[in-house]
Structure 1
Amino acid sequence: MSNAERPAEWGGLPTFEFPLLEEDLPESLPAADAVAWRITVEGYYDVDLGQWAATFARFAEVVDLSQVRALIVGIWPQAAIPDNNKPNTEAIDTLVAAADRLPALRALFIGDMTWDECEISWIVNSDVTPLLRAFPRLEEFGVRGGGSLAFPAESHSVLRRLVIETGALSREVVRGVGESDLPALEDLDIWLGDPEYGADTEVSDLEPFMTGVRLPALRRLALRNSAIQDEIAAAFASAPVVARLTELNLSLGTLGDEGATALLDGQPLTHLAKLDLHHHYISAPVAERIRETLTAQGVAVDLSEGPDDRGDDYDDEEDGRYVAVAE
C-alpha cells in the first residue's frame, strides 16, 4: 500500500506547481514569497538527466530567488533506480549551487512523488545533509523515499521540523538523525517502514529519541509506519521524552493490543494534546479503554482506520498485519 500524499502546504504556504519545461509559462505567477514552489519533471524513466536542473534554471529566470521561502522537489530524472544503480544527486547539487541566491529559503521538501508518479519504495535518494549545510537558516526539511537515503550525524541550530517518509528506512539513517545536534527541533516525524522492503531499525536504535537529550526543544514526535509498532509503544511507555511532548504519533503501523496496553499502563499520557494511533490493529475493548482513559482528560485520540474500518478480521497475532505505506 502507499498513501504518501502530496503536501497541500509546506512551510506554512500553499503549494504551487511551476510549469513543466515543455509547458508555456502563464501570463502571471504568484509572488515569490507567497507559495511553496513545486519544481518537477514529468516521468522518471524517459526524461534525460539535466531536465530538473533546466527546469530550475527556467524558474530562476522568472521568479525572484532572493524572495523564495519554500521549495518542493518533485520528480527528478531517473528518480527510480537508474541503470548504473547510483543515486542521482541532480536536484541536490542544483540547490546547493544556488544556495547563495536563496537567502530567504526556510522550508524544503525533497522527493514529493505520489504512487502514480513513483512508488515510495522505488525512489532512490542520496545523502541529503549537504542541503542542511547549504541552508543554515532552514526551519523545515522533509524527504520522501528511503532507497540509498543517507543522513550522517549533522548539526543545525535553526531546524524546527524534520520529516522522513519512507516505506523502508535504514537503521543507519535513524542512527544519524539520533546522533545529530538539532537544538531547535520541535517536530520530528519518521516513517520506519516494512522489513520486507528493507527496513531494519530496532528499538535500541531509537534510544536518543526516548531520552530526548539531544532534542531539548522536541514537542511533537512521530515514529510510525512501522512493523515493530508494539515494541516501540512499549518502549515509549516509560521513555523520559514523553513527559514533555504535546503530541505522540504511533500511527500507520502494526500497533495492536500489546503495545496499546503498554502505553496505558505506563507513564501518564493525560498531558498530551494529541495521541495519534490511526491505522492500527487494536481490539475494540482496548480501543474503548484508551478513549475512556484519555479523551475524558482532554486528549485528542485518533483511533481511526482500525480493523473494523478496513474490513480486516481482528487478529491478535502479528501475522497478516501490514504497515500503511510500504511499496
Structure 2
Amino acid sequence: MIVVAGESLIDLVPQPGGEGRPPGGESPPPGGGGLPTLLPRLGGGPYNTAVALGRLGARAIFCSRISTDRFGDALLAGVRAAGVDTSLVVRGPEPTTLAVATLGADGSAGYGFYAEGTADRLFELPPPLPDGVRAVAFGTCSLVLEPGASAYEALLRREAGRGLLTLLDPNVRPGLIPDPDAYRRRFAGWLPQVSVLKLSEDDARWLGGVPQGPLAVVLTRGAAGLSVRTREGVEVSVPAVPVDVVDTIGAGDTVNAALLHALAARGALAPEALGRLGADDWRGVLDYAARAAAVTCSRTGAEPPYGRELG
C-alpha cells in the first residue's frame, strides 16, 4: 500500500481558441482586453499522483486536508473515483487553493497560485500510518506553504525513520518560494530521508544541480526521456514515447505514480530491495513511466492513464 501526502487544488487551464473574447461571446473591448476561457480541472501534484496510482491499479491512500467547499467536494469525489482510500483525508472550511495555468507553445505549463488562507495549508501530522503501508510520496506546494509544510516534513522524517520507502518530487514552483536559499537548505536537509528523488531538468537547474544522497535519483528530461542514477552505480536512460502533446500538466505526477507502481510490481517498495535493482530492472521501470507520461501529455489537464491503456 502506498500513501501520497500533499495538497489538492483546482487548476484553471486556458482553453484553445478561448482567448480574446469576454464571457458571453460579445466582442472584446478596444485594445484587445479579452480574457482567456479557463476550465477548472482537479489537480495538485500529490493529488494527481494519488489518482494516477489508483488508475494504474495500485492500492493507494491520499493523506491531505481538503476544503468543504464545492471544489473540495469535487476533489474528494475524483480521488475516490480512482479507487484511492481517503481515510487519511481531513476536511476544513477554508477555501480550496487555485492554480492558474499558462501554456507555452510546446504545451509546457507555468502556474500562478491563489493559496493564502486555504484548507490544505492547515494540514497537521496524522497518527501512525496503517499497517501494510510500504511507501510514502511527497511533493510540490505542500512542502513550501506553512504551517502545513512543517507537518509534512515531520511525516517524511517519521516514516523514513520507520524504514518505509519515501519518494520526493519537489516540483519546484519558484513563485511560491519567498527565500530560495532557505528552501534549498531545507531541501538538502530532507535528502537523508529520501529513498527515490524525482526531479525535472528545470527543478535540477533551480536547485543548483542533481544532488547526491538518495538511493535513486530519477531525472525527467521532457522530449529527451528519463534517466536514473542509483547509489550502487546503476545509470540507465530511456527515450520519451513520441506523442502529440496537448499539455504537460500532470505528466511529472504520472511519472511518480508509475515509478512507484512499477517498483511495487518488482517487489522493490523497500529501501533495501530498491538497492538490489539492476540496469534491466530500472530500464523496465523507466519505460513504464515514459509510456504513462505520454498518455497524460496527450490529454488536456492532469488525466493520467488507466492500467489497461498501458498493456
- TM bucket, shorter chain: 0.3 to 0.5
Greater strand content: 2
> Whose radius of gyration is greater, 1 or 2?
1
Relative contact order, higher structure (CA 8 A, sep 6+): 2
TM-score by structure 1 length? 0.33
